[in-house]
């Protein structure tokens, strides 16, 4: 079991939710607290029932309004919400702004080595605890995607974290410091730059320099919650530093709670992935990795998660938080029984298959990054290919993928030697990760004997067909589930069918035009 089981809301105080696909915020509206106490109480009951013991309400991308949550303007209201969650064993966290000493305190700098900055953090933190004595601590996103941070001041991430941690320490508070730190102004022309390497390069050499009450919050993969990517090499490698595993419950890249995607299946795959020749990620979770943090997928929609079936993802997060070696099939089956009040194996099976189906029509072989820019829903094969964000697949008329072994960007060297050797060669790299680690010709033969390109064609056709099969399965459940749930899921499956066919046609046509190689099965590909 993880010691800390944390929900991170990305709610803005104007009521919007960043990467939120289930309506508006449960907590905020018009830049103030505005909530239905009964609904928040019910939400707290739900979270408590699945073992959640910490929660942050506001977006990690703190703005000028939410930065004031640690001031008397909002602390009385925040304390009232803390009291609701406290009843169910859940402590509050606050996402704070690294530059708060400057933006709120009026100091000329937020330099963590400046004594005045340290004093400001101490005084402000004491104030916060005077309102919420059992506050779990703070959460920080710094030096990433235009957020202020210590690096721009010539300081290390450890120096930036430790000054805030020192203010929290007398109160028993912890500081979650996100490791999603990278240069988001990269040059696509430079093939030696590799965004996947960024977090390890930023943090690995600082092992042992963080204060005892700092927990590094590390995304499951080195990029950004993709449908398929390897584990972050930071996980388990900070031997003298506390770590948390960050997962995304909200379906930013996995269908946005329109397309069905059971994250339990994905998370089980990650947790079963090796971190060395003797241990899996699950083996070190709850011990070396003491916290699990999930980006929330809830809002004020009629159905808490927008899609009624997406509530299975929130439930699965809680289950894995209590047992990282839990079983996805069992979790999904148990959720169906709990949600519908009876066993409906067809729904459990739909959920279990949904992850593979979505992966087939979007990102086979860990291709990734073909989504529509900014929105991240729907296909755009070159949408991010020539931009600053460092998320490239580098397809041309002969090859596709990024070479990340010793002859490429050298990313594989960040892993345990066992894994580095495994990922070095396409022949030993797990095929589901092939195009993440290697740049290969379209006629490269997979273990099945298929060429790489034919596999891409096949999976996109099969994935679209899989959506139709799920729709047929659901259609047969009329009368077996409440009408309002039946109709809502039908509506979303209809949208998913449109999305899957668009992915199939856009991606297959893209590669056909690029290579001139036809589908050997003669199916319709547009030219």
Q: Are β-strands 28-29 and 32-33 bridged in parallel, bridged antiparallel, or unpaired?
A: antiparallel
162 in Cβ contact with 215 (< 8 Å): no
The separation between the first and the last C-alpha atoms of the chain, rounded to the nearest angstrom, is 53
- Is 252 an annotated catalytic residue? yes
- Is 229 an annotated catalytic residue? no
The DSSP 8-state label assigned to residue 323 in this structure reads: -
The owner of tokens 């892993």 is: 415
Q: Which residues pair with 56 in a beta bridge?
A: 8, 93
* Of 252, 290, 300, 359, catalytic: 252
- In three-state secondary structure terms, 466 is helix
The DSSP 8-state label assigned to residue 158 in this structure reads: H
H helices present in 425-482, as ranges: 434-437, 452-475
* Of 11, 148, 224, 326, catalytic: 224
- Is 145 an annotated catalytic residue? yes
95 in Cβ contact with 78 (< 8 Å): no
* Of 36, 123, 134, 145, catalytic: 145
Beta-sheet strands, E only, within 38-182: 54-58, 91-96, 137-140, 174-178
- Distances 5 to 12, 188, 240, 323 between C-alpha atoms, Å: 22, 38, 21, 11
What's the CA angle centered on 59, arms 54 and 60, to 5 degrees?
85
The owner of tokens 């730059």 is: 193
2 in Cβ contact with 290 (< 8 Å): yes
Q: Which residues pair with 246 in a beta bridge?
A: 219, 293
- Distances 302 to 26, 256, 260, 312, 413 between C-alpha atoms, Å: 12, 16, 18, 16, 48
Residues with catalytic function: 145, 224, 252
């Amino acid at each position: 079991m993880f010691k800390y089981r944390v929900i991170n809301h990305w709610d803005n105080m104007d009521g919007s939710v960043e990467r939120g696909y289930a309506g508006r915020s449960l907590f905020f509206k018009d830049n103030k607290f505005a909530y239905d106490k009964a609904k928040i109480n019910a939400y707290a009951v739900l979270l408590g029932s699945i073992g959640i013991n910490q929660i942050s309400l506001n977006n990690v991308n703190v703005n000028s309004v939410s930065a004031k949550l640690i001031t008397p303007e909002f602390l009385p209201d925040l304390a009232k919400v803390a009291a609701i969650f406290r009843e169910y064993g859940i402590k509050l966290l606050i996402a704070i702004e690294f530059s708060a000493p400057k933006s709120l305190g009026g100091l000329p700098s937020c330099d963590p080595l400046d004594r005045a900055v340290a004093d400001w953090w101490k005084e402000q933190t004491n104030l916060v605890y005077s309102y919420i004595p059992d506050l779990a601590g703070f959460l920080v996103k710094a030096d990433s995607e235009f957020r202020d941070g210590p690096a721009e001041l010539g300081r290390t991430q450890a120096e930036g974290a430790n000054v805030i941690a020192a203010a929290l320490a007398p109160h028993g508070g912890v500081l979650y410091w996100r490791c999603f730190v990278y240069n988001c102004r990269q040059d696509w022309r430079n093939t030696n730059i590799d965004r996947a390497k960024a977090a390890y390069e930023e943090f690995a050499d600082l092992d042992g320099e963080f204060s005892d009450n700092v927990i590094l919050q590390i995304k499951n993969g080195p990029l950004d919650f993709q449908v398929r990517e390897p584990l972050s090499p930071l996980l388990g490698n900070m031997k003298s530093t506390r770590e948390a595993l960050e997962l995304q419950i909200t379906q930013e890249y996995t269908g946005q709670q329109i397309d069905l995607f059971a994250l339990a299946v994905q998370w089980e795959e990650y947790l079963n992935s090796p971190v060395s020749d003797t241990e899996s990620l699950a083996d070190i979770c709850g011990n070396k990795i003491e916290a699990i943090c999930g980006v929330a997928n809830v809002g004020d929609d009629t159905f808490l998660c927008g899609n009624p079936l997406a509530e299975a993802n929130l439930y699965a997060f809680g289950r894995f938080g209590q047992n990282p070696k839990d079983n996805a099939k069992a979790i999904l089956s148990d959720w169906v029984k709990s949600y519908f009040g009876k066993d409906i194996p067809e729904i459990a099976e739909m959920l279990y298959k949904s992850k593979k189906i979505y992966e087939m029509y979007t990102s086979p072989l860990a291709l990734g990054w073909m989504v529509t820019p900014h929105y991240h829903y729907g296909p755009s094969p070159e949408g991010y290919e020539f931009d600053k964000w460092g998320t490239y697949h580098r397809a041309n008329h002969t090859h596709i993928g990024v070479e990340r072994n010793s002859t490429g960007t050298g990313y594989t060297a960040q892993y345990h030697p066992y894994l580095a050797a495994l990922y070095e060669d396409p022949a030993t790299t797990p095929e589901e990760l092939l195009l993440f680690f290697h740049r290969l010709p379209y006629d490269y033969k997979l273990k099945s004997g298929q060429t790489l390109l034919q596999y891409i064609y096949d999976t996109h056709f099969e994935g679209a067909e899989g959506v139709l099969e799920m729709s047929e399965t659901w259609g047969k459940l009329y009368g077996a589930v409440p009408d309002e749930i039946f109709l809502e899921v039908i509506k979303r499956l209809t949208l998913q069918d449109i999305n899957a066919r668009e992915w199939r046609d856009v991606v297959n046509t893209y590669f056909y035009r690029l290579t001139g190689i036809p589908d050997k099965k003669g199916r319709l590909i547009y030219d």
